Amino acid sequence: MTATTPALFEHLPTDRVITDPDVMASYSHDEAEWAEHGAPLAVVRPTSTAEVAAVVRTCAQRGIPIVPRGAGTGLSGGANAVDGGVVLSLERMREIVEINGAERLAVVQPGVVNDVLRAEAAKEGLWYPPDPASSPWSTIGGNVATNAGGLCCVKYGVTRDYVLALELVTAAGEIVRVGRRTAKGVAGYDLAGLMVGSEGTLGIITEITVKLRPLRTTAPRTVVGFFDSLAEAGDAVSRVTAAGIEPSIFELVDRVCLKAVNDWKRAGLPENAAALLLAQTDLPEPAAEQVAHAIHDQFVAAGAKEAMISTDAVEADALFDARRLAYPALEQLGQAMLTEDVCLPRGRLAEMLTRIDEIAAARDTVIATVAHAGDGNLHPLLLTPHGDDASRIRAQAAFDDIVNAAIDLGGTVTGEHGVGLLKRAGAARELGPVVVAMQRAVKAALDPQNILNPGKAI
């Protein structure tokens, strides 16, 4: 504990503050492989907005950096500590303040886990659609910070589409509310929208109001296609999109991921195809049957070696588990894993998948790929043995190659994981100097001391 630490936290209960180096180490970084991180002065775990404001005010007076953190499931280094800063963990702020069936909204603290909100909303016949693969662990605050998506986002949208209002603490320690609870409202700039995806660089979010939808009651139809190449799978996605078909879920899983899930869970999934495409429609009958057959026909036209339609919910859940379990299954291989998050126009998906194959060969790097195929959001996963510096250097070069290829094809460097530390160079290239200057001007206006998550996002 440094000389400044007691004064910094004198107004907080002692159980809010962690200064043990070993414990702080577990809070000093997220899940981003090889992203740099510093040694924090302390970790603070507030339980209320007032406590957050007190910490921010004191840090602002002393010019101490603050890194907000949720569950630490991020994949871009956005929650990584800086030397001499405070990690502000919001994990204890996990109250569901309100679920309002009449207004179809929920008010939650940032530490509420995504799946917990979804389960509580379901008890009221309501549904919160954003469902990142980390939904059993990731928090709503973290989801808002990165504008997280998920399997349902192709039809139902991402986190930004559901955020109505926010309570936040400014860089000066003031408590403010932005947004509104009403269905419509255009008073002033959309500051709530600005905060979504800002990665904790503009304010500390302490309460979130999200809109809910009625719980789905129709039994979905699932279409499965197996393809001999990633390019053919990408072509199938482009064909479905061009035909004006809107699946409720549309996912891609490649052979490496399927094998990893099989080895881990003994799932019995087929491994003799380069890629598996999973599409689902939740329309009522008979529209669901018509759409399912239309998707099936586009899969066949793109060269699927096998395609089928299923109405078996158990079978469908098993297939979608393969998608949800891909990342943790690959972790079981005991290798370092650098996770990409590029997003392409859907018409360029086949070309991008081909580029990824070429990059893997050129850089001699194993790249597994999963994707929210329906909105062009690819997650290539670069695998290297731990401690193999040559492999790490090749993988990092492949990571940059994928970023540059995405930009060259009219895409973006991050679809939902955020810029964090890993994508700053790519984001600067994508946005250009004038737009970067505009964004930095916003940052300077709201955080003139640059104490909120410095060095991240822009």
Provide the residue count of the chain. 458
Distance CA 349, CA 242 (A): 12
Distance CA 388, CA 397 (A): 14
3-class secondary-structure state, position 77: coil
pLDDT of 4 reads 57
pLDDT of residue 3: 45
Q: What's the CA gap between 109 and 104, in Å, rounded?
A: 17
Q: Pairing mode, if any, of strands 42-44 and 17-18?
A: antiparallel
Q: Torsions phi, psi of 190, nearest 5?
A: -85, 80
pLDDT at 6: 58
CB–CB of 379/340 below 8 Å? yes
Token duo for residue 100: 């309002």
C-alpha to C-alpha distance for 396 and 131, rounded to whole angstroms: 28
The beta-strand segments (E) located in 159-218 are 163-169, 175-179, 204-211, 213-214
**CA neighbours closer than 13 Å in the CB half-sphere of residue 236:** 35
Q: Is the peptide bond before 385 cis (omega within 30 degrees of 0)?
A: no
pLDDT in tens, 258-301: 999 999 988 888 888 999 999 999 999 999 999 999 999 999 99
Q: What 8-state DSSP symbol labels residue 372? A: E
User: Nearest CA to 70 among 138, 6, 116?
Assistant: 138
Domains of the chain: 5-89 (3.30.43.10), 96-214 (3.30.465.10), 218-327 (3.30.70.2190)
Task: Report the predicted TM-score, pTM, of the whole model to 2 decimal places.
Answer: 0.94
Mean pLDDT computed over every residue of the chain: 94
Question: Which residues in the chain come in under a pLDDT of 70?
Answer: 1-7
Q: What is the pLDDT of residue 383?
A: 97
Structure tokens at 170: 């400014």
CA distance 412 to 400: 13
pLDDT tens digit sequence for 177-202: 999 999 899 999 999 999 999 999 99
What pLDDT, on a 0 to 100 scale, did the predictor assign at position 5?
67
pLDDT of residue 248: 95
